[in-house]
């Protein structure tokens, strides 16, 4: 029986399960503020009376967990390290076990949050409602770092994705980056707000920012590849990242190193876009899977762009279709910015 719900005791989930076979090294993901996602279909939302809903699915969620799930869809091996608290935390663990996602749970005192995804069938719009989640105390934060550091040593790539729970300092990801590097691993970081800004004080291997996050750093709107270049150059010049990726929605993404800036133009979706929730996690899953297999960062990012497009074809945060993602990869046009 899992003891993940007991504060202070990390427990491995999916005992007895094996990861998909493959020669690439395993990937570790970190989710400090996971969710149990409850996804429902409604005809249309009403402001008076009841809105009847059909539960489409219930699944474990949160940035790193979504990335681990995406890595598995591409045939890679991933372990999701996450917090889990009280009854909802126990449900989170059960859902991951049932799905067959390898995971390592750290028990906390607070209740893991639930999030709600509503897909309005008449308008074809999705609404993602996400509470703040539990607060972690200093001891829980230290235990997260200690378990992460021990686990990172067996995983050449570590992905930290998602928001920080209350109680942790804004510079927590700075310490994560230090611990991961000390374990000899490479960190891919995808976060937002003050946690993003404070993390710039420590170098990571790869950072991904969407347009909103890039605008937060730049202090102005980021709408074009030139705008993205300014943000990526800021990150590279500060020594905050070896690889900087800024995504530009339907335009695609800019992948930058100190040597070059490469535009990756997104292909048109082969169907109606239904939701962009989870597109960033799907992109990171594709990128880290291919990096672990030895791909060039630009090629890995090209599959990431294709996967983000594929993920938008599903309502809510349902998993992307791998075949669709791979079929879109040849349509991603790659050019050097300004060349």
Residue range 270-274: mean pLDDT, rounded? 87
**Reported pTM:** 0.91
- Whether residue 291 lies inside any domain: the answer is yes
Note whether residue 125 is domain-resident.
no
- Can you tell me which residue has the tokens 């990571």? 204
Place of tokens 């539990």: 134
Does 273 fall in a domain?
yes
pLDDT of 220 higher than 90: yes
* The token pair that represents 242 in the structure block: 């070896």
Is residue 14 over pLDDT 50?
no
Domain boundaries, position 193: 10-14+23-34+63-108+135-336
Q: Which of 249, 250, 212 has the alpha carbon at shortest distance from 231?
A: 212
What pLDDT score was predicted for residue 27? 98
3-state SS class at 264: strand
Active site residue 227: no
Residue 11: what pLDDT? 42
What are 79-113's pLDDT values in tens digits?
Answer: 999 999 999 999 999 999 999 999 999 999 999 99
- The residue annotated as part of the active site, out of 97, 190, 227, 281, is 281
5 within some domain: no
Please determine, for residue 217, whether its predicted confidence score (pLDDT) is greater than 70: yes
pLDDT value at residue 4: 39
Which 3 state secondary structure label does DSSP give 286?
helix
Compute the distance between CA of residue 175 and CA of residue 17 in angstroms, rounded to an integer: 32
Do the domain assignments include residue 53? no
pLDDT the model gives residue 22: 54
Task: Report the distance separating Cα 127 and Cα 219, nearest Å.
Answer: 27
Position 118 in a domain:
no
What value does the mean pLDDT take over residues 169-173? 97
Query: For position 175, which CATH number holds?
Result: 3.40.1190.20
In a domain, 52, yes or no: no
Strand stretches in the chain, DSSP E: 10-12, 27-31, 35-42, 53-61, 78-85, 103-108, 113-120, 125-129, 157-161, 186-190, 204-209, 241-247, 252-256, 261-265, 333-336
Average per-residue pLDDT for the chain:
91
Show the tokens assigned to 259: 């040597």
Taking only Cα atoms into account, the Rg of the chain, rounded to an integer number of angstroms, comes to 19
- The H or E element spanning position 180 is helix 172-182
pLDDT above 90 (res 274): no
Find residue 79's DSSP bridge partners. Answer: 28
Burial 13-31 (b: 16+ CB within 10 A, else e): bbeeeebeeeebebbbbbb
| Average pLDDT, integer, range 159-166 | 95
Q: Record the tokens describing residue 339, joined without a space.
A: 């060349």
> Into how many domains does the chain fold?
1
Tens digits of residue pLDDT in 27-83: 999 999 999 999 999 998 888 889 999 998 899 999 999 999 999 999 999 999 999
Residue 253: other Cβ atoms inside 10 A:
28
pLDDT score of 48 = 86
Residue 54 falls inside a structural domain:
no
């Amino acid at each position: 029986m899992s003891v993940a719900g007991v504060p202070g005791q990390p427990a491995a989930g999916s005992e007895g399960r094996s990861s998909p076979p493959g020669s690439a090294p395993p990937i570790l993901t970190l989710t400090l503020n996971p969710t149990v996602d409850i996804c429902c279909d409604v005809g249309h939302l009403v402001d008076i009376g009841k809105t009847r809903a059909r539960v489409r699915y219930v699944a474990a969620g949160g940035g790193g967990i979504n990335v681990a799930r995406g890595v598995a869809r591409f045939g890679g091996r991933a372990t999701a390290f996450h917090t889990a608290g009280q009854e909802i935390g126990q449900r989170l663990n059960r859902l991951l076990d049932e799905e067959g996602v390898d995971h390592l749970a750290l028990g906390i005192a607070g209740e893991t949050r639930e999030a709600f995804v509503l897909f309005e069938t008449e308008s074809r719009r999705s609404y993602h409602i996400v509470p703040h989640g539990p607060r972690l105390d200093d001891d829980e934060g230290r235990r997260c770092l200690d378990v992460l550091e021990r686990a990172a040593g067996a995983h050449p790539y570590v992905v930290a994705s998602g928001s920080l729970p209350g109680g942790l300092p804004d510079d927590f990801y700075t310490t994560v980056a230090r611990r991961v590097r000390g374990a000899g691993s490479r960190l891919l970081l995808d976060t937002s707000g003050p946690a993003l800004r404070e993390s710039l004080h420590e170098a990571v291997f790869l950072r991904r920012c969407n347009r909103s996050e890039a605008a937060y750093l730049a202090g102005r709107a980021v709408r074009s590849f030139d705008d993205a270049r300014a943000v990526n150059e800021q990150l590279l010049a500060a020594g905050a990242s070896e690889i900087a990726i800024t995504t530009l929605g339907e335009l695609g993404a800019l992948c930058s190193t100190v040597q070059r800036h490469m535009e990756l133009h997104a292909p048109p979706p082969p169907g109606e876009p239904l939701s962009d929730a989870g597109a960033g996690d799907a992109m990171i899953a594709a990128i880290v899977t291919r990096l672990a297999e030895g791909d060039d960062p630009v090629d890995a990012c090209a599959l990431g762009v294709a996967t983000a497009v594929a993920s938008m074809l599903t309502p809510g945060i349902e998993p992307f279709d791998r075949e669709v993602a791979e079929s879109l990869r040849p349509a991603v046009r790659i050019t050097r910015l300004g060349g």
